[in-house]
A and B are shown apart, each in its own frame.
Chain A
Amino acid sequence: MSRGLGLALPGLPQLLRGKIMEGGFCLFLWVSSLLVLVFRYERIVEAPGGSLDDQIAMATLILATVGVWLWSFKEWKRVASEPASAQFVAIGTIERGWAAYRTNRLAVLSLYVVVVLYLAMLLAPFLVSSGPAGPDWEGMSDLSLHLLPPSLAHPFGTDNYQKDVLSKILYGARISLSLGLLAVGISVTLGAFLGAVAGYWGGRTDTVIMRVVDMVMAFPRLVLLIAIVALFEPDFFVVVLALAITQWPYTTRLVRGEILSLREREYAEAARALGFSDWRILFRHLLPNAMGPLIVVATLGVGNTIILEAGLSFLGLGVSVGTPSWGVLVDEGRTYVLEQWWVSTFPGLAIVLAVLAFNLVGDGLRDAYDPRQAGRSSS
């Protein structure tokens, strides 16, 4: 009987097998999706003909719902076919790393938090309040909404623009979270490429690249950031690029070191003897072996980048065009922080939550990929 229920209610199969966290997460996603569907039915129905944001949000909702159900279904099928015995799975490095990661409850929880944050970001149009306090409200503002303390209608209160703080945080997430991901994406790609090239060929190439790295790293990062942003109109991409430009040298150093040791491995030698080209050996054979540490720095970098952007915004140098990011929200509430604490505090907590989640995921990944570190951090 419970098996039949398992199909109807995602998360139940996992819960029945004692996977509390996985099941709870599944259930949470499922219930939240349903709630969104029920409460925002009208908006969702109009979404296909609506703005791009709405369409993306709807696609996310569908994908999330189907994904959760499939995840649960897989578990359910496994219960059905193999009741007791643990399955033997052929595992590679990625799978082994994941298996080690799963044993770290805090890291798994953080991963769930990250997933929820990004889902909330994509689903934002369906989640924000639709009244005069909502960010999409086109009409006159309602002065009775001025700086209201947290209540049921406005869980995080309203700000000095008579807007719902929670809604602004959800929209701000689009800037802060995507900016973090983008900046890290660019810097890791660029940094890994240059580091790999420098480490593999050495000699003059190495010298040139590493001296540039030294030069960039010789500046305090914040000062360099401020200088770059101040030179241009601080719109989204300028800030992203500025963050990426000040970030890549760290990745370059790391990857260079990894490649330096990897290129002396026997399998690199064997690949050379088999006639593979240097580029192929470097990017197809060696770089995948450096993936573990690379993923770790990337994840830790996202948290770091979100903080830096918030710092820049707080100084008035962040993304100043369009939707305010979390840092801007904190800055906006600065004047009221003693009386109307909620205006600054909740965006600040959002930053803390996101950065903490990313850092814990990064720590978990590092432990998973480097077992020598795991013992140290837990003791």
Chain B
Amino acid sequence: MNLLEIRNLSAHINTPGGVARALDCVDLDVDEGETVGLVGESGSGKTMLALSILGLVPGGPKALQPGSSIRYQGEELVGLDGKGLRAYRGAKIAFVFQEPMTSLNPVFPIGDQVQESVKLHRDMKGKEARAEVVRLLTEVGIRDAEARLDDYPHQFSGGMRQRVMIAMALAGEPGLLVADEPTTALDVTVESQILTLLRDVQERSGMGLLFISHDLDVVARVCRRTVVLYGGRVVEAGQTYEILTSPMHPYTRGLLGSRLTMDDRRTALRPIPGEVPEATRWPGGCRFHPRCAQVHARCRTEEPSLAPMSAEGGVGSASREVRCWLYSREEGGT
């Protein structure tokens, strides 16, 4: 049994422009102690997926479509009311958000904010709670934590604030940590430190980690397994190294081609043309086809399914899955 099992997750959100199908039949697993990366462009549904795990999507739990299932340690989360969900938030599943600059309340000292989290999720009071706060802050690498308890968020740098956020998330000793682009707003050296920190705390506590990023390189440094999301659908999934070394879906290849690496200096960047369409009107057929270089007639009319790639094709292990007609065996593909 997986720690987190997402099956058939669809989230539809009412917007002024119509119903946005932000997520469409997404499957995702995170095992205990496992680190899974979730990759995609802005608008691909990554954040929506993270938020829907605990009913935090705009529109509330009603946004999840019938048939969706999210199980944490085998317990179904879809259909729980606000109170039921709150028992999971922070205590069993914790979040770290993208914007460390604004994720802390500006009017309270950071010690109070971490302590509030400690008091809520652990049966601690007074001195004991305070000691725990100091321990947590030290654990996430804040030097001289005791002296900084009464400092306000604006007295901390972005990286330090993200450490405080991680301390708050760890306060409830969660079994699963969802980190939504935790390093996007930070510069590279700090990013590196935060990634190391996340890996450390994850290894120490043995919790599962769902790591969301638009940056495949960052994901490669943290995650064993990677899921690529496009248009609210999983387009490719597999071991991270496999995806990085032999990307199969044209979109994944596009993502890798959009990176700048040292040995690419002579070749120009190859960005993916166009942009992610709006979630209110996905194109028919394969959702990627308007931007795909290898598009053919079938892609425009029929949507491929997420098919497992076996080793016999020479392109990956059993866990590899791709949603593309190029690799469809049943009906000949190209």
- A contact residues vs B (CB 8 Å cutoff): 90-94, 265-267, 269-278, 284-285, 288-289, 291
B-chain residues with CB within 8 Å of residue A266 when the two chains form the complex: 97-99, 102-103
Residue of B nearest to A289 (CB): B107
Contact residues of B: prevailing secondary structure: loop
Given A90-B155, A275-B89, A275-B90, A267 and B168 contact (CB-CB distance below 8 Å): no
Q: What are 23 residue pairs bridging A and B, where the CB atoms are less than 8 Å apart in the complex?
A: A90-B150, A92-B109, A93-B152, A94-B107, A267-B102, A267-B103, A267-B104, A267-B105, A269-B97, A270-B168, A273-B56, A273-B89, A273-B94, A274-B169, A275-B88, A275-B89, A275-B90, A275-B120, A275-B172, A276-B116, A284-B116, A288-B108, A289-B105
Residue of B nearest to A278 (CB): B82
Residue of A nearest to B165 (CB): A270
Given A277-B86, A288-B107, A272 and B169 contact (CB-CB distance below 8 Å): no
A-chain residues with CB within 8 Å of residue B88 when the two chains form the complex: 275
A-chain residues with CB within 8 Å of residue B171 when the two chains form the complex: 274
A-chain residues with CB within 8 Å of residue B56 when the two chains form the complex: 269, 272-273
Residue of B nearest to A285 (CB): B105
Residue of B nearest to A277 (CB): B86
B-chain residues with CB within 8 Å of residue A267 when the two chains form the complex: 102-106
A-chain residues with CB within 8 Å of residue B218 when the two chains form the complex: none
Q: Is the CB of B86 within 8 A of A275?
A: yes
Q: Is the CB of B94 within 8 A of A93?
A: no
Q: How far is the CA of A285 from the CA of B106 in the complex (A)?
A: 10
B-chain residues with CB within 8 Å of residue A272 when the two chains form the complex: 56, 89
Q: Is the CB of B107 within 8 A of A92?
A: yes
Q: Is the CB of A274 within 8 A of B104?
A: no
Q: Is the CB of A270 within 8 A of B107?
A: no
Q: Is the CB of B107 within 8 A of A273?
A: no
Q: Is the CB of B106 within 8 A of A289?
A: yes
What 6 A-B pairs are tightest by C-beta distance, nearest first?
A275-B89, A275-B90, A273-B95, A274-B90, A266-B102, A266-B103
Which of B87, B89, B155 makes the CB contact (< 8 A) with A274?
B89
Q: How many residues of B contact A (CB 8 A)?
A: 35
Q: How far is the CA of A91 from the CA of B108 in the complex (A)?
A: 11
A145 to chain B, nearest CB (A): 56
B22 to chain A, nearest CB (A): 16
Q: Is the CB of A275 within 8 A of B150?
A: no
Q: How far is the CA of A267 from the CA of B168 in the complex (A)?
A: 12
Residue of A nearest to B100 (CB): A266
Q: Is the CB of B106 within 8 A of A93?
A: yes
**Which residues B72-114 have CB closer than 8 A to chain A?**
82, 86-91, 94-95, 97-99, 102-109
B-chain residues with CB within 8 Å of residue A278 when the two chains form the complex: 82
The answer to whether B71 has its CB under 8 Å from any CB of chain A is: no
Q: Is the CB of A270 within 8 A of B108?
A: no
The answer to whether B54 has its CB under 8 Å from any CB of chain A is: yes
B-chain residues with CB within 8 Å of residue A277 when the two chains form the complex: 86
B-chain residues with CB within 8 Å of residue A92 when the two chains form the complex: 107-109, 152
Given A93-B107, A277-B86, A270 and B151 contact (CB-CB distance below 8 Å): no
Besides A273-B89, A274-B120, A275-B88, 4 other A-B contacts (C-beta < 8 A): A93-B107, A266-B102, A270-B165, A274-B94
Residue of A nearest to B82 (CB): A278
The answer to whether B199 has its CB under 8 Å from any CB of chain A is: no
Given A285-B105, A288-B108, A289-B105, A274 and B117 contact (CB-CB distance below 8 Å): yes
B57 to chain A, nearest CB (A): 11
B-chain residues with CB within 8 Å of residue A269 when the two chains form the complex: 56, 97, 103
B-chain residues with CB within 8 Å of residue A288 when the two chains form the complex: 105, 107-108
Interface string of B154-186 (1 = CB under 8 A from A): 010000000001001101100000000000000
The answer to whether B121 has its CB under 8 Å from any CB of chain A is: yes
Q: Is the CB of A274 within 8 A of B168?
A: yes
Q: How far is the CA of A275 from the CA of B165 in the complex (A)?
A: 14
B-chain residues with CB within 8 Å of residue A276 when the two chains form the complex: 86, 90, 116, 120
Interface string of B56-69 (1 = CB under 8 A from A): 10000000000000
Which of B90, B98, B121, B155 makes the CB contact (< 8 A) with A273?
B90
A-chain residues with CB within 8 Å of residue B109 when the two chains form the complex: 92
Q: Is the CB of A90 within 8 A of B105?
A: no
Question: Which of A265, A270, A276, A277 is most buried by chain B, counting CB atoms within 10 A of its CB?
Answer: A270
B-chain residues with CB within 8 Å of residue A291 when the two chains form the complex: 107
Q: How far is the CA of A27 from the CA of B300 in the complex (A)?
A: 86
Question: Which of B89, B107, B108, B116 is most buried by chain A, counting CB atoms within 10 A of its CB?
Answer: B107
Given A90-B155, A275-B88, A270 and B106 contact (CB-CB distance below 8 Å): no
Q: Is the CB of B102 within 8 A of A275?
A: no
